[in-house]
Amino acid sequence: MKIAVIGTGYVGLVTGTCLAESGNDVVCVDNNAQKVATLNAGGIPIYEPGLEELVKKNHRDGRLTFTTDLAKAVRAARIVFIAVGTPQSDEGDADLTAVWAVSNAIGDALRDVPPGPPGSRIVIVKSTVPVGTNRGVAERLNAKGAGHVDTASNPEFLKEGAAINDFMKPDRVVVGVRRPEVAEVLRELYNPFLRTERPFIVMSPESSEMTKYAANAMLATKISFINEMANLCDRVGADINDVRKGMGHDQRIGFQFLFPGPGYGGSCFPKDVQAIIAMGRHTNLPLKLMESVDLVNDDQKQVLGQKIRFHFQNDVKGKTFAIWGLAFKPQTDDIREAPALVLIDELLAAGAKLRVHDPEATANVRAIYGDKLTYCDGPYGAVEGADALVIVTEWKTFQNPDFEMMKKLLTTPLIFDGRNIYDTKVMQNLGYTYYAIGRGKKAY
């Protein structure tokens, strides 16, 4: 099929590339000429394992191209994906400015295209949008004289760091349509990715839009829940790792997203939780559980700082801290809403010196903090001369370090582990003072 993807951000670029890999003719559109030039030259603007190789391969083979010419790309396509950003507004709502602008531009481009049978031309909203947005897109197309174009909703469920695998081997594909003919076109499009009998779930656009928010809200709830239980474990002397095992083997609960840490971040959970709270507010339905999830997460981002202040008796001025991990999670360079930034701000404000390392996100952090931080190429360089190590992101390269070497590099054998990646007894036997999350060591 001939496909146009509007937006070359995280969702758009992964979607377009994976659809090209399955044999489709894909044109990705962006209004940023510099980004388009970079993509056409073989570079990519984000880090995602496996993505650069697929982009280069499909671009070389002619199935994947990049342009700033939206109208030309849309007129040539049977399927048009809208995959532009929907950032959080000051009130917590999803900002749909880009969605509406693109919808109007698509309408202008398709106004004079002759109508065909149902499903012959489809505009699909891939962006995460509030319930009712798809209907708004259809209204804008109609107002532009392109009411003959079908619209659909197709939310993404991609995890940063595993997006290629998530697209190629999805748990499920959800589509929201108003005509069965449209569903059949989308089933044909996604059939190469559903050969292992993964479900293709058809519903209304409104239910599809809600499914995305409900799924992310549920995952965010599990994270906030286990973090709150971890904090209680610290107070009562229990070990959250044991508690997590006792819970997770209950098949009704499971282990996914039951890992305590310094709070969730990224482009999805914080924004989507705020957006679903805003949807409740607009319908006069206070979503008290979601409000609590958001509050717990904000508080959780302070926990590492609390443990550090406790150990140093509220005096970290002049102390040097090594920070391992800046991205909000491993296998990405994304620092949006990253817990590490909250900790960095707090320690800098208290007069501490920071030596930081991340395998991929350093450049993005440098763009914010400049020379306020010391940027280190490797983890051992970061701990050299530091008074303590703070682990914020659980990159695999941090899992099995040379602890004896680290003891020589640190001024004191002190670790604050925000991801519980080490064994408390092992650390004690090695002579480290070791603070983790919910492992029974009081630090408040």
- Write out the binding residues: 30, 35, 86, 128, 157-160, 212, 257-261, 265, 271, 329, 336
Task: Name the residue with tokens 């697209």.
Answer: 167
Closest CA to 267 of 193, 357, 327, 346: 327
List residues bridging with 125 in a β-sheet: 82, 153
Query: What's the order of all strands across the beta sheet hosting 25-29?
Result: 64-67, 25-29, 2-6, 79-82, 122-125, 150-153, 173-176, 200-203
Question: In Å, how far are 225, 290, 331, 423 from 229, measured between CA atoms?
Answer: 6, 17, 27, 19
Closest CA to 417 of 97, 395, 157, 275: 395
Question: Which residues are annotated as part of the binding site for substrate?
Answer: 157-160, 212, 257-261, 265, 329
Report whether 431 contacts 413 (CB < 8 A): yes
Helix extents (H) in 80-236:
97-110, 133-143, 163-168, 180-190, 205-236
Q: What one-character-per-residue DSSP string does 279-309 give?
A: HHHHTT---HHHHHHHHHHHHHTTHHHHHHH
Q: Which residues contact 89 (CB under 8 A, 6 or more apart)?
A: 95
Residue type, 396: K
- State which H helix or E strand residue 57 sits in: helix 51-60
Question: Which residues are annotated as part of the binding site for NAD(+)?
Answer: 30, 35, 86, 128, 160, 271, 336
Question: In Å, how far are 16, 214, 260, 294, 302 from 273, measured between CA atoms?
Answer: 27, 9, 19, 7, 19
Task: Name the residue with tokens 């999803």.
Answer: 94
Residue type, 152: A
CA atoms of 244 and 254, how far apart (whole Å)? 9
Among the options 18, 28, 233, 268, which is catalytic?
A: 268
Confirm whether 18 is a catalytic residue. Answer: no
Angle formed by the axes of helices 240-248 and 205-236, nearest 10°: 140
CA atoms of 19 and 111, how far apart (whole Å)? 26
Residue type, 177: V
CA atoms of 366 and 373, how far apart (whole Å)? 8
Residues carrying an active site annotation: 268
